[in-house]
Chain A
Amino acid sequence: ACFVPGGLDCSISFVSHVLGKVCVHGRQKEILSVLVPRLTDLTKSDCIWQRICWRLVECVPDRWMEAVVPPFVQSAPGADTLSRLLGNLVVTPPKAQFVVTQKVLLLQYCHTTAVLQNLLGYLALDSLRRALLIKVLQELLETWGSSSAVKHSPPEQQQYISKAILICLSHLKEPEIESCRQELLTSMMEGVKCHLDSNLPQIRRLGMIVAESISSKINTDGPVLKFQYEEDDEARELKSLLVQTPPFCVVPGRLDDDRNEKAEAALPLVLESTKKSHTAAPVMPEEESDAELDSDDDLIPYDMSEDKELKTKAPVYIRDCIEVLTGSEDVDKWEATVKALESLVRKNPAATREVSVELAKILLHLEEKTCVEGFVELRQRAQVAVLTTDPIPVAKYLTSQFYSLNYSLRQRMDILDVLVLAAQELSYPKSHGKTKHSGAQKPCTQLLPGSDSSKDWRRIVDERIKSKTRRFATGQSQVEMASGPNEFNSVAGHFFFPLIQHFDRPLTTFDLLGEDHLVLGRLVHTLASLMYLAVNTVAVTAMGKALLEFVWALRFHTDSYVRQGLLSCISSVLLSVPSERLLEDMTEELLETQSWLGDVVEKDPDGDCRRLALQNLLLMENLKKKLKTVPS
């Protein structure tokens, strides 16, 4: 016998109202944690209860729909459960559809991947709802492919949308893909372009992964798009979303749950035992066989695979190196020279000084002739060695080349990297110079460190804040560090000012304020580093003033990487310029900067920018406090 819906309608709508009200008041978790499991159980086999459930949610007033449906999606254990609970809710009532398709997917991004899986799986399960799935995918792709969205929306949201796209793709069947193949292709092309244009490596990678996935779906035969990027856990997680695992989980009753658990437990055991048998397979059956063949018995040879021909010797004189690098056809010699150059330069400073600019020129233009391992690093270290051996002329040359015609972006960024590394080396006391070598390798060997430097800065700023506030409590630190003259002092200006001079003068092939915002971002970060390293130099105040003006001119730049760099610049200025000079010579600039920082903290869309701005404000506060407590 079936219940007449009539009588139950009224009571259900009352319950819906109660449910809605409770959820709107923020108690979704409590009520749904009781309600959803109960409903899950009840609706497992009883379709009347299913209908009741559907009506329940359907009758929730529109204004509370947003508070009810997402938590439902969240707390349902699986897409098919959600399907039972919600039915075809999303197809008819416009509000529910809006909540599910627009709100959850495009406007919010706080939900977990599981929620996305539930939601999209739910859409995929019924033929009526599949049309919605395709529509949803199209909208997601539109957002994904919009360049303004890529530029202005937070990375977390972009990741969320990417995940949603991947899950949608995983649910689509062949005929569906066929029907919207052209659209997919167009969106993919547009989207890939704006993603690759971004300065943040995370965004670029998201773009690459999604594009690859789309391409693999639409080109099932034939060549697919393949990018090169770092395969870490995040990438793997994203790619795993493309494959839908059949729901072998929770469905029937308690008994089956136990059985499933046992099956799951049995599976890993089986895998482990096979693994063990593999590793146990050992060693040296060679012993026996060899003894028979040879009468040199019980003399077991060692591994001699490393016994290779000795490489050609590298030249011993700097001028010979120049000859080899510019003319020589002998590739072995060229390779050996590249490997030996840095140490030769450091061992022969006098000889290097005679030809420093020439050597710098050669290194800047040096292209990889053979496949030398670590070529980029070797070239960079040689350049740094040359620059630190003869700073003023080489810095002059490099900074002038930075703004010259016909260099590639990579070369310009090389110049920036080399300047920072050399400045780092010069500004550290000699005893540390040796250890800093190995440390200096880390940050700048990648061609595009991207937002890495901002993370470094956060750490450094934190440390410096700590060290400054502790100064009143403790006295001299335990160990007297070796001291020596600051070699960066005499050359800091030569590194810094030429770089900052011409940034607004566009050349035919190089426009910092226009297309080449990547280089601008790197330039800004470089200036921040140089400023930081210029602490205790004579030129630091002039540098600080110039840098604050530079920051002011660029403060509204649309690229978040550039803005992060500008904020790092301010940190460096605040940390490096002595506080007396800051307050006497730069009061106006500081006040203007402070008001800008306040704006950034509140309104900037990028999380990193906001954090940096907040730290800068803290630094400024500390500065004021410090000067108040110290009697002048």
Chain B
Amino acid sequence: MALPPPDPQFVLRGTSAAVHTLHFSCGGQEPDVPILFSGSENGFIHVWNLKTHRVDTALDGHGRKSVYCVETMGGKTRLLSQGRDQRICLWDLAEGRTSVTDSVFTENVGFCRCSLLKVAQGRWLMAMAAKALEEVQVLELPSKMSVCTLKPEVGAKLGMPMCLKLWQLNCGSQPLLLAGYEDGSVVLWNLSMGKALSQLVCHQEPVMSLDFDSEKTKGISGSSEKVLSIWSLNEQQNLQVYKTHKLVNAGISDITIRPDKKILATAGWDHRIRIFGWKKLKPLAVLDYHTATVHCVSFSDHRNPSERLLAAGSKDHRISIWSMYTQT
């Protein structure tokens, strides 16, 4: 008899608004406190202290418009946030400061989360949906210089970019971008040439979220339908469908693979968080805690594997924190 699914280790309450994005920063040494950043629909970014389970700081930088992406840039003192006020803000949080040091005006009114990739010390690439409908722009941070603009072919009819993932095979190799579009396709872009290397129709509905394992060159995407699609990249840099997995209820908002590539988590419109083994997509658990759509899931970056956590943010204003499969 299988055990019933576990309860959350704890639940963070107090955002008073739907939670759209989460990001952990727990890699620091003692006496550094493990931190979780959350972005909410009311425009606030909450900095949660994972020892006390309380909000240490609330950042208000997007004019009360929904924040739908938060990322750290090398440690918890530098934060990037993206909001529906069409801005991407860079924050300096060192020594108790809460100031926006820089911002990028994206002129994009969509919901596509930007993607960050560290390419060198102090240098990042950021991919974001651009002003024009189907375009993706890549900027270098912190200089804010444009690296390239990725335009699909005329007549491709991909629709809006829905989700982005910048990656590189190893440090020093050229960065690539995977983009999921409104028509259900996933496209692999070469940034230096600004060209699409491969396109694969993974879904019949818009690709809501995707994640990629650069070691195994295998990725997974979720959509508003009932199917999860797993695809891989072969030697010729071509995307091929590896397998699909049918879900009980339609709608996935977010997918994330754990840093150790053992398991992955999906955030569902049916209020449930699903855990799968990454190797064979073996269903492991269905966590039914939230009472509304789960918007985001995120794994922590604890150095000690036994402390690793999974966080899920939902429309029901709660963030549930889970400790699952930490022994491996």
Contact = CB atoms under 8 A, between A and B. Distances in A.
Interface in B283-328: 283-286, 288, 325, 327-328
B1 interface: yes
Interface stretch (B67-75, B134-142, B274-282): B274-282
Nearest to A305: B2
Interface stretch (B3-11, B88-96, B100-108, B204-212): B3-11
Contacts of A310: 249, 270-271
Contacts of A294: 277, 279-280, 282
Contacts of A300: 2-3, 284
Contacts of A303: 1-5
Contacts of B325: 299
Contacts of B248: 307-309
B280 A296 contact: yes
A302 interface: yes
Contacts of B328: 298-299
A31 B239 CA distance: 102
A304 B263 CA distance: 16
Chain B's interface: helix, strand, loop or mixed, by majority?
Answer: loop
Contacts of A309: 248-249
A298 B305 CA distance: 15
A286 B2 CA distance: 9
A336 to B, nearest CB: 15
A301 B286 CA distance: 9
Contact of A302 (B5, B262, B270): B5
Given A301-B284, A308-B248, A309-B249, A295 B279 contact: yes
A192 to B, nearest CB: 45
Interface residues of B, number: 26
Contacts of A307: 248, 272, 286, 288
A281 to B, nearest CB: 11
Contact of A296 (B5, B277, B285, B288): B277
A306 interface: yes
A304 B282 contact: no
Contacts of A299: 262-263, 277, 282, 284, 325, 328
Given A306-B288, A309-B249, A310-B249, A301 B270 contact: no
B2 to A, nearest CB: 4
A302 B277 CA distance: 12
Contacts of A304: 2, 5, 283, 285-286
A301 to B, nearest CB: 5
Nearest to B285: A302
Contacts of B1: 283, 303
Contacts of A301: 2, 282-285
A304 B286 CA distance: 6
A307 B266 CA distance: 14
Interface in A282-340: 283, 286, 294-296, 298-304, 306-310
Given A295-B279, A301-B285, 11 more contacts: A296-B277, A296-B278, A298-B327, A298-B328, A299-B262, A299-B263, A302-B3, A302-B285, A303-B1, A307-B272, A307-B286
Interface of B: 1-6, 248-249, 262-263, 270-272, 277-280, 282-286, 288, 325, 327-328
8 contacts: A299-B282, A302-B3, A302-B286, A303-B1, A304-B5, A306-B288, A308-B248, A310-B271
